[in-house]
Structure 1
Amino acid sequence: MESLLLLCICLITLSPFIQADVDINVATSSQIHKNLNRTSSPCTEFWNFACGGFANASQYVDNFEWVEDQFAMAMVEFMESRVGDNDTQAPQLIKQMRTYYKACTGDTSKLNLNDPPQVVWRWLQEESGMFLEHGLNGVFFDERVDVATNDSTRRVVQISMPDPSSRYSVLRALELLRLHDWKDKQEMLQLMAKLQQLQRKYKEDNPVVYTWTYSEIKRQIPIIKWDILFGQLLGVHHTAKELEHLLFEVSDVEYLREAFQFLMDFESVPRDMYLRVRRLVLIQESEPRERNPRTCIHHMRAFLPLGMNYIYDRFVYQNREQDTQRLVEIMGSLKATFGKYLDANRLQLTPHQLTYVRAKLEGIQLKVGNLPAEKSPEFYDTHYESANFSESSFLGNLIQVLALRTRLQHAGLLKPESRVDLQRYYVNDNVLKARTSPFYENERNTITVPMEFLQFPLFDHRQHAIFQQSLMGAVLGHEMNHAFEQEGILFDASGNESPVGLAIRESQPFREAIECAEGKPAISLKERLADLNGLQLAYDSFFGLHHNSRKLEYRPYAFESEFRAPQLFHLSYAQFFCGSLPPVIAHDRDDERVDVSVDNLRQFAYDFSCPSQSSICEMWRPRGETAPTSDSLVNPKQ
């Protein structure tokens, strides 16, 4: 009854656009038309043609902000209602989530690094305990719990020089030091400069990774006080014998030795002060820039993923069964088409290599929502029991949640042989912003589709297959192809690195396909390959492997009279990327991603009557074109 009550609230809140008397396909088609910029040419600037009108048609920055806002509105309704107050399955979890939310929305105090020196100094004096234990990572070195390269269920501790992403925090710390005139300022600046110098000195694209036991890492890098470090991280004191089962994968060894020798010889006061400065930067980076109900929900999605996904799945999400069924069907069609690619064997794989790739293809799992398979109420209700949240102090809660996330990441190390409990596995990364788009994990050979993604305009189980296959099919195709690009191919069906994958990557046809994709510079080659191969796979899965637009005459859909099926497919795909162009971080800009992808889809030129491309990059897709056969086409007309 509580779930139905909340659903009524959410439907009123979330659906100003899709009214009960508006067909979902008419609504989708209408949105596509609103986003168009007809002053642009689809042949030369397809993204601009498909998305140039989005800014005028939408109140949102992009489609991700749109679906995230719908998710946030639904969760705000839950947090501010009485639904779940008398819950018998996970009352403690629900209470903890509401307590954290109440502090986030009600407590107005903020950490402002531009405050007067005496205010900031008070924060610096706060006792913080061990910094790594409280979530501060990547300052002197990077420490994380992952799985072994040759055993995807064996937990290992990875130690390396600071991750490149930490450079943003370094710059913020530098800004903070320049704002205030502290006694140890010059010494801290010298410390920062020395660490950066060492990182430049020892930076390697593919550093050697050593696998060591606990005894070996203590012997190889004795400068670090490993007993104290892991005593704090694991929450209790352990003897060296009790920690011997831990396994380490260590890279940048010479950096670690020289950096920690330098730190040991450096004055302890400025060294400790620099850690405190970086801790302040971490807290400021982690809190929402502006605290309001919706931003607090998004913040909690990132830092308390299990609790937020559990509540949404149980009390708000109403279409899991229908959505899952449709996603499984789409994924099945993608796998079947990729299987036909392998039949053609464009990359000239050996029988053994083909068996390797087919096993990986067959083994790819699809997961709706970042939740473990575990269903017991006790697991969820006790998962956050070590956190002590307050309704009155958001910054206090934030410090607690940073430490909580670290504890949960390391808790598995205490289990025999440190094995991943696949029944209770979920992604609990050190992210500041939660993922909304689907993502692929090599070690799990799994594509996870976040539940917030499964909303209009990105997906609705009632939509016609052309909308689902063009957008969701291309997104799933992109993620699926991460299993077969130059990094993903190294992992076998079980998520372990394999010499067979390495041999495929080093083969001449594979290298030639890579070189073709490199013809136009990309921020990330593996993302470029996933874009190109994912769109080609989605197109072939919907229209048929030997589809030829020049040999078919299309009737209009009942809900779309202007654009014929292939054109509508391309527009629906492109509009996944509609919005203000983002800063370039790990992917190319959205306009380039779309334009490069359609330029390398052979049928696109025919579909929009464009000049044919002389050079098209295809990796797994069979060579050449043949006329369509009666059994090779999915009926794209109705």
Structure 2
Amino acid sequence: MSTRTSTCRICELLFILLWLSVSGQAGYPPASNPNTQLVNQILGYVNESVAACNDYYKYACGKWSEKHENDSFSEITGLIDHKVNENLIVLMDELQQRTLEPGSVEDKVLTSYQTCRQASESTRSSRTYLELVPPNEQIPWPQLKLRPDHWSSIKFQWMETLARLRRYGLTNVIFKLEVLPDLKNSSKYAVSIDRPYFEHKDQRLRGTLLTMLTLRMVGINSKKAWALARKVKLFESAVRELVEMEYEEKSEFYEELSLQQLEVQTGGQWRKYLEIVLGRNVPADYVLQVENSACLTALVHLVNGWNREVVATYIMLRFVAYVHKETMESDEPIECIQDVRRNMELATNLLYEQRFIGSEKLRQHQADILELFQLLRQQFLKKLDANSLQLLASELEMLRAKMLNMTINVGNMPNTADRTSFVKRFYADLHLAEDRNYALNHLRLLEFRTRRWFEQLDGALNATNFFFISDSETGMSSTPYYLLRQNIIIVPYGILQEPIFHHDAHDVFKVSLLGFMLSHELMHGFVSGGFIFDFRGNYNKLGKRIIMESEYSSGISCLNRNETDYLDEREADIAGIRLAYDVYFDPGSKFNLTQPSFTNLSLKQLFFLNLAQFFCGNTAPNDFADHDADELRLKQMLINFSAFAEAHGCREDLDNMHPAQKCRLW
């Protein structure tokens, strides 16, 4: 290299360093500065023709749909999931180019993915599932009989059939059986039995027409399908009427009953049921936690009085609906990788961590999340010390212990040095078929996950190596969530990426979005539905007393003026935004409060605008599950928070976003 060329190159480097230092963006070329990128993205969604004080959702999110009209996701969490899915598809392509050890975790994940991609349509049909899982070993489903005399109703025992299907995860049909942390000792698990629930659409059959069409898909002629559809709908109506009319008020607590006591009381074959589910002998004195036992007694008598073919058909239809809810509808890569995530979450978490995060970045992420969580914890403890709800000392002490003992798990992974070996052992007895039979492998995966969940009955909860065996929807989601009985917040790996999280972004971005998400989950331990459990996850009567305290009950009544079915979520939203805001802006804040040069917005305006991105989307109001619509959630949060009105100069009672009366809990 000549002296002239070398000197010029040095000059160029000096110029670049000088420019970066002057611009305040050292370490990033202009186009890749995370703060500039985040601000530009946020402002790209803003509809400036709408006044922020009139309708903040339409102001902050007005152009979201336009920007993402051709995308498959509908909101920011969907965007994050889409990024995770695209990464995992890259990983699947890489695995296909490698020679994998037979039976390894990578081999099983790839087999699951390839089965989804390559299986024939016939192996996905309802009929295939039903052929693989008959009601018992003696008879097929009535609709699959080869000749009229091939289905003997006397051989059909509905509890036996439900037990066989429970091994694949089906529950909440005629009754609900779960394995949950013991209500008195959350460090161990217990079998819980309750009446069925019908509140959500996936907890009941669809209309008669759609029920008839499902029967037609199984192979029944139209005339018989119509008649049978009407009968099974009548049966479900009878069950639902019994549950919701005669036993509308749920029992205050549960009873501890042995299998023998439950059988004598209800007339059901509970011991045989549980032995089929667990795959082993169960003693007659095995103790269960039973709710609504009188309702269960009435249900057993009701079902026993109905035509067995109708009962069998009803159970069959609920099973068909369940397995199709648990599957993706196509063999496209994005659908199939979601299928793998929902069925093999622990495995995909490990592979995602190894391929796309790495040990050094993971330690950095964990440190960042833990630091933010600790600051949120300290801020909430200050609120307890202030005691604006005028709680008793004993009540405050219970809440303080709960907050101090709350933990956080990044990635929903066990806290062990050798995660690879742990995950390999976890999946050691999962055996997938190589013949690309979708229903067969799907059933094996469902059975495996259910078995692992039921195995928690056999040992105490290991808090050190804890990870949550989640349901399908949670398994393929990157949204943080709080486990009430374990007092743990789970932060999936997927959320630790832009636009939610960037290690080098300004603090205002971190606290306003990820900080709010964490504070929302944290507050779930301190809302109406969370108070009744202490820091160990055990039932505590003090929690019920807190709910009845005058200051708290007044706050709840205020929050529910605009009535909601999701009051706990509203409480967590409204308390959560205040907690995140106070962590950032209160005196003594540990964060950077200097006005940044990359925006003309004040830090407080930027805080609210970035937070609003969590709620932007184009999802129809009726499509939200377990929450109010995002537009309503954002509005309720902001109209009840004076700091928002102050940041935007809203006029009290003159602007929609600044009513004089505001609701507050903490």
Pair in the same fold by TM > 0.5: yes
Instruction: Name 2:19's counterpart in structure 1.
Output: none
Q: Which residue does the alignment assign to 2:397?
A: 355
Aligned partner of 2:253 in structure 1 is 209
Residues 351-380 of structure 1: per-residue CA shift (max 9 Å, x gap)? 222222211111111111112224454431
Per the alignment, do residues 521 and 171 of structure 1 end up closer, same or farther by CA in structure 2, a change over 3 Å counting?
same
1:577: which partner in 2?
615
Which blocks of at least 5 consecutive residues in structure 2 are unaligned? 1-27, 137-163, 217-221, 653-658
Deviation for aligned residue 1:394:
1.5
Equivalent residue in structure 2 for 1:131, among 156, 165, 176: 165
Residue pair 1:110, 1:395 contacting (<8 A) in 2 also: no
From 14, 33, 57, give the equivalent of 1:23: 33
Normalized per residue, the structure richer in helix is 2
Supply the distance in 2 between the matched residues of 1:452 and 1:122 (Cα, whole angstroms): 34
Amino acid in the other structure paired with 2:342: A
CA distance in 2: counterparts of 1:364 and 1:530, whole angstroms: 16
Instruction: Give 1:566 shift.
Output: 0.6
Matched, 1:420 2:461: yes
The residue number in structure 1 matching 2:54 is: 44
1:102 equivalenced with 2:145 (yes/no): no
- Please point out which of 580, 599, 602 is paired with 1:538: 580
Tell me by how many angstroms 1:125 deviates.
Answer: 4.7
- 2:87 matched residue in structure 1: 74
Once the two structures are TM-superposed, the CA of residue 188 in structure 1 deviates from its matched residue by 3.0
Q: Taking structure 1 as reference, are residues 324 and 126 closer, same or farther at Cα in structure 2, changes over 3 Å only?
A: closer
Indicate if the aligned counterparts of 2:172 and 2:203 stay in contact, CA closer than 8 A. no
Once the two structures are superposed, residues 201-252 of structure 1 have per-residue CA deviations (whole angstroms, 9 ceiling, x without a partner) of 244354243332434543454522222212221123x1526xx4x4422112
Deviations 1:479-518 (A, max 9, x none): 1111111111111111112122222221111111111211
Deviation at 1:440, TM superposition (A): 0.9
How many Å apart are 1:587 and its aligned residue? Answer: 1.1
Correspondence list, 1:39-438, <5 A: 39-58=49-68, 59=71, 60-82=73-95, 92-109=104-121, 124-128=130-134, 129=136, 130-164=164-198, 167-172=201-206, 174-179=208-213, 180=216, 181=222, 182=224, 185=228, 187-215=231-259, 217-236=261-280, 238-240=281-283, 244=285, 246-318=286-358, 319-374=361-416, 375=418, 377-391=420-434, 392-413=436-457, 415=458, 418-432=459-473, 434-438=476-480
CA offset at residue 102 of structure 1?
0.5
Distance 1:20 1:132 in 2: 57
Counterpart CA distance in 2 for 1:578 and 1:69 is 16
Query: Which residue of 1 is the match for residue 22 of structure 2?
Result: none
> Contact 1:299 / 1:432 at 8 angstroms: preserved in 2?
no
CA 1:187–1:46: 2 relative to 1, 3 Å: closer
Structure 2 counterpart of 1:603, from 643, 650, 653: 643
- Paired with 1:289 and 1:542, the residues of 2 have a C-alpha distance of 44
User: Are the aligned partners of 2:95 and 2:110 in contact in 1 as well (CA < 8 Å)?
Assistant: no
**Secondary structure in structure 2 of the residue aligned to 1:440:** strand
Structure 2 CA distance for aligned equivalents of residues 359 and 86 of structure 1: 51
1-structure distance, mates of 2:406, 2:393 = 20
Structure 1, unmatched stretches of 5+, are: 1-17, 114-119, 548-553, 621-638
Find the counterpart in structure 2 of residue 617 from structure 1.
663
CA distance, structure 1, for counterparts of residue 292 and residue 576 of structure 2 = 35
Q: Distance in 2 between matches of 1:152 and 1:169?
A: 27
Change (3 A) 1:219 1:289: closer
| Contact 1:169–1:281 (8 Å) recurs in 2 | no
Instruction: Please give the per-residue CA displacement for 1:160-182, whole angstroms capped at 9, x wherever unaligned.
Output: 11233564353338445322333
2:460 maps to amino acid: R
Distance 1:326 1:224 in 2: 53
Q: Give the Å deviation of 1:425.
A: 3.2
**1:503 alignment counterpart:** 545
Task: State the secondary structure of the residue aligned to 1:355.
Answer: helix
Task: Kindly tell me the number of residue pairs found equivalent between the two proteins.
Answer: 582
Q: Deviations over 1:578-615 (max 9, x none)?
A: 11134233111111111211111111111101013421
Query: Which range moves more in the overlay, 446-455 or 580-589?
Result: 580-589
In structure 1, distance between residues paired with 2:378 and 2:96: 44
> Which residue of structure 2 lines up, in the alignment, with residue 444 of structure 1?
486
TM value normalised by structure 1: 0.85
Distance of aligned partners of 1:545 and 1:148 in 2 relative to their CA distance in 1, 3 Å threshold: farther
- What letter is aligned with 1:35? Y
Change (3 A) 1:558 1:220: farther
Other structure's SS at 1:488 match: coil
Pairwise CA RMSD of aligned residues?
A: 2.6
Q: Per-residue displacement from partner, 1:137-196 (whole Å, max 9, x unpaired)? A: 111111110012221112111111123356435333844532233377154344223212
1:568 counterpart letter in structure 2: L
Structure 1, 419-428 or 520-529: larger mean CA deviation = 419-428
Larger Rg: 2
Once the two structures are superposed, what CA deviation does each residue of 1:58-85 show, in whole Å capped at 9, x if it has no partner?
Answer: 3442111211111011111111213895
Aligned residue for 1:390, secondary structure, equals: coil
Task: Give the 5 Å matches for 1:479-490.
Answer: 479-490=521-532
Q: Distance in 1 between matches of 2:594 and 2:449?
A: 55
* Higher mean displacement: 495-504 or 56-65: 56-65
CA distance in 1, matches of 2:337, 2:170: 23
| Alpha-carbon distance change, 331 to 61 in structure 1, aligned in 2, over 3 angstroms | same
The alpha-carbon distance between structure 1 residues 144 and 429, as it changes in their structure 2 partners (threshold 3 A), is farther
Cα contact 2:96–2:110 (8 A) shared by 1? no
For the Cα contact (< 8 Å) 2:372–2:515, is it kept in 1? yes
Letter of the aligned partner of 1:383 in structure 2? F
For structure 1, which segment, 267-276 or 101-110, has the greater mean C-alpha deviation from structure 2 after superposition?
267-276
Q: Which aligned segments of 4 or more residues in structure 1 are displaced greater than 4 angstroms?
A: 18-21, 83-88, 110-113, 120-126, 173-176
2:350 partner SS: helix
Equivalent residue for 2:597? 558
